[in-house]
Structure 1
Amino acid sequence: MSAVTSTSASAFRWGLVQVSLSGVLWGTAGLASELLNDATGAHPLVLGAWRAAGAAVILLVILVALRQLRPAIDLLRRHPLTVVGAGICTGLYQTLYFQGVAWAGVTVATVVSLGIGPVVATVVEAIAQRRRPSWLSLGVVAVALTGLLLAASAGGHGAGGTRPVEGVLISAAAGIAFGSATLIGRAPAQHAAALPLTTVTTTVSAFPASLLALIPVATQGAAVVPAQTAGQWGGIIYLAAGTMALAYLSLYAGLKHVPGSAALVATLLEPVTAAFAAFVLLGERIGATGWIGTALILFAVVGLSFEAPPADEEDPVRERLPDPAGEERVPVATGPIPRADGDPLGG
């Protein structure tokens, strides 16, 4: 294996670790939200809006402190469609998923919203690259989705909601939004630093999340301020800083080296973490089915590390980035340099 290939494989595996960390952090969000909802009675959409807005404020403060505001502005100016699109899809995913839970139940919403993302991403990438996905990729997705179904169904939240058909549809929309956010966000993640990209997309996501939160406020009289005590505010800060700011920072850092389809499989660690956290902190039984599902998801994530790292792949939503001098950036050949007589140097 050449030094370049070895470096690519190492970066690919490190990217998987970073994306997996995002899934672990998101897995704690459900438990934290549930505890906050029990303590405050806050509407889930209101909590989601505070989570996104709080994360945006935290990231903006860090961005200014590290003097990275200019790269963020340049990123938004040069690639407004991809950056804003990723942010809007992120905000829509959160709110649509919460509504899917209310209408179809936690199990159905989790399986549909998280399960549809890897499938859509695999198909989109295969079409963009004009080649069939490898058998390893297809096997990993199949194993991961089977594990997701088993883990979610064993969580003890299997009761359906009040509007199951609409719940399935809106959960599917949430999954498409999440998959789209990952695929769209991967393009700027190849060239932009993770902090400016995360700050811009998170700030954008706060707008649709806040607008949708106004619906229960206006129609149900939901409280705008979801916390009263210091402990409750601490929970909201954790949701914003840990499960949003740090999680998406880790996601975009990993997307620099990991394809969108592989990243979406790795994020299936979310229900695994949620089940384990409920087992440790709340004493909820997981059961044999849940443990089997957890093992399958972990097996699928480990299997991703054996996938060949993406080399010179065409990103399905990648933009051509301009050179600082104003000229279009041209791909550089990595093979032997030809001599004037046609013989390659070092060949």
Structure 2
Amino acid sequence: MIPVLAVLAAAVLFGTTGTAQALGPDGSTPLSVGVARLVIGGTALAVIGLGIGRGQRMRQAAPPRLTRRAFALMAITGVCLAAYQPLFFLGTARSGVAVGTVIALGSAPVLAGLLEWALTRRLPSRAWMAATALATIGVALLVVNGGGSDGADPLGIMGSLGAGASFAVFANAQRRLMDAGWDPFTVAGAMGGGSAICGACAAPFTDLGWLAAPDGLTLSLWLGLATIAVAYTLFTWGLQRLTAATAATLTLAEPLTAGVLGVLVLGETLTDTAIVGLVVLAAGLVLLAAFSRAPRDPEPYAVEA
């Protein structure tokens, strides 16, 4: 149950991203906020993850070797985390925040489950299927509520689906690394370091002048430290005892959190359809939490709480 709570806590932190950005200073753009988030959060995650991971590896009887495959998987996690940012923001810019967000997050568990099946030939559990079905219905209700008369933009849909695919790929890549004996903190640290490098490469092409404002610095620190450094450490730790499909479905608590914060903090209103969607989405998460269990494969290492 603790891994489930860890992933849920990470999802709640993820869910604060939209509200924090909405309260940010004038002049901040989705791309510049994403770059600042990656550089600050990715660097902090690398320091925390690789630092703790070093101690984990020293306690292992046979620590894993950094093979070409392992290095490639670590690089994939960093690139996918960085790619998620512009794809996600493209989806929200073209289709709206509500539609773009739920398409990205709603597609992630489905794509993660399909990718995991393709890699392992192991079908997700019935509990995952039932929980994902409920969560998908809730997401669909939210899309109907937020789509407006014109519906979602095709390019925006592609961007959101790309973001969901990015999430699914790095979740499965992390799972493969941990199956090979890598501790979750090293995996998280490598992902953070790779994403920070990608963010630093994009920084010269974005306007970061808003960081000079006090609320701009506060925004960047929260988004970087809380929604990346802490959140992804919790997510990766929880992933070691859950399948990638289960973890991805649990992160659907992110739009649930975002919806609640939108009402309480930003003063947004929800239609009856949106409320029903949030309730159904929450029911899927409860079902998944109640029936979640560790993967059938034996653990290659132990992690101290």
- TM-score range relative to shorter protein: 0.7 to 0.9
What is the alpha-carbon distance in structure 2 between the residues aligned to residue 64 and residue 126 of structure 1? 30
> In the TM superposition, what are the counterparts of 1:242-261 in structure 2 within 5 Å?
242-261=226-245
Question: Which residue number corresponds to residue 166 of structure 1?
Answer: 155
Question: Is 1:198 aligned to residue 182 of structure 2?
Answer: no
Question: Displacement, 1:195?
Answer: 3.0
Aligned residue identity for 2:37? R
Aligned residues: 294
Question: Displacement, 1:45?
Answer: 0.8
Question: Displacement, 1:112?
Answer: 2.3
What is the alpha-carbon distance in structure 1 between the residues aligned to residue 297 and residue 142 of structure 2? 33
Q: Is the 8 A contact 2:112 2:244 kept in 1?
A: yes
The counterpart of 2:139, out of the listed 148, 165, 178, is: 148
Q: Is the 8 A contact 2:138 2:280 kept in 1?
A: yes
Q: Decide whether aligned partners of structure 1 residues 157 and 35 sit closer, same or farther in structure 2, where only a CA change above 3 A counts.
A: farther
Q: Decide whether aligned partners of structure 1 residues 81 and 298 sit closer, same or farther in structure 2, where only a CA change above 3 A counts.
A: same
Question: Is 1:34 aligned to residue 25 of structure 2?
Answer: no
What is the alpha-carbon distance in structure 1 between the residues aligned to residue 56 and residue 131 of structure 2? 40
What is the alpha-carbon distance in structure 1 between the residues aligned to residue 82 and residue 274 of structure 2? 29
What is the alpha-carbon distance in structure 1 between the residues aligned to residue 189 and residue 65 of structure 2? 11
Question: Which residue number corresponds to residue 174 of structure 2?
Answer: 185
Question: Which residue number corresponds to residue 50 of structure 1?
Answer: 36
Deviations 1:283-332 (A, max 9, x none): 212232222212212211111134362443499xxxxx9x9xxxxxxxxx
What is the alpha-carbon distance in structure 2 between the residues aligned to residue 63 and residue 123 of structure 1? 28
Q: Is the 8 A contact 1:31 1:274 kept in 2?
A: yes
C-alpha RMSD of the superposition: 3.0
Q: Decide whether aligned partners of structure 1 residues 166 and 212 sit closer, same or farther in structure 2, where only a CA change above 3 A counts.
A: farther
> In the TM superposition, what are the counterparts of 1:115-130 in structure 2 within 5 Å?
115-130=106-121
> In the TM superposition, what are the counterparts of 1:101-120 in structure 2 within 5 Å?
101-120=92-111
Question: Displacement, 1:66?
Answer: 6.1
Q: Is the 8 A contact 2:50 2:189 kept in 1?
A: no
Q: Is the 8 A contact 2:52 2:186 kept in 1?
A: no
> Can you give the 5+ residue segments of structure 1 that lack an aligned partner in the other structure?
1-12, 218-222, 316-320, 324-347
Of residues 164-173 and 250-259 in structure 1, the stretch that sits farther from structure 2 once superposed is 164-173
Q: Is the 8 A contact 2:4 2:292 kept in 1?
A: no
Q: Decide whether aligned partners of structure 1 residues 285 and 128 sit closer, same or farther in structure 2, where only a CA change above 3 A counts.
A: same
Question: Displacement, 1:231?
Answer: 2.8
Of residues 232-241 and 185-194 in structure 1, the stretch that sits farther from structure 2 once superposed is 185-194
Q: Decide whether aligned partners of structure 1 residues 152 and 236 sit closer, same or farther in structure 2, where only a CA change above 3 A counts.
A: farther
Q: Decide whether aligned partners of structure 1 residues 45 and 283 sit closer, same or farther in structure 2, where only a CA change above 3 A counts.
A: same
Deviations 1:107-156 (A, max 9, x none): 332232112211122223334443544443222111101112223554x6
What is the alpha-carbon distance in structure 2 between the residues aligned to residue 304 and residue 258 of structure 1? 11
Q: Decide whether aligned partners of structure 1 residues 69 and 232 sit closer, same or farther in structure 2, where only a CA change above 3 A counts.
A: farther
Q: Decide whether aligned partners of structure 1 residues 197 and 99 sit closer, same or farther in structure 2, where only a CA change above 3 A counts.
A: same
Question: Is 1:281 aligned to residue 265 of structure 2?
Answer: yes
Provide TM-score, normalisation by structure 1. 0.75
Instruction: State, as a whole percentage, how many aligned pairs show the same letter.
Output: 26
The counterpart of 2:12, out of the listed 4, 9, 24, is: 24
What is the alpha-carbon distance in structure 1 between the residues aligned to residue 234 and residue 191 of structure 2? 13
SS at match of 1:226: helix
Question: Is 1:237 aligned to residue 221 of structure 2?
Answer: yes
What is the alpha-carbon distance in structure 2 between the residues aligned to residue 184 and residue 310 of structure 1? 18
What is the alpha-carbon distance in structure 2 between the residues aligned to residue 42 and residue 229 of structure 1? 10
Q: Is the 8 A contact 1:105 1:160 kept in 2?
A: no
Aligned residue identity for 1:246? V
Q: Is the 8 A contact 2:138 2:278 kept in 1?
A: yes
Q: Is the 8 A contact 2:53 2:184 kept in 1?
A: no
Q: Decide whether aligned partners of structure 1 residues 214 and 44 sit closer, same or farther in structure 2, where only a CA change above 3 A counts.
A: farther
Of residues 20-29 and 185-194 in structure 1, the stretch that sits farther from structure 2 once superposed is 185-194
What is the alpha-carbon distance in structure 1 between the residues aligned to residue 50 and residue 125 of structure 2? 43
Q: Is the 8 A contact 1:227 1:233 kept in 2?
A: yes
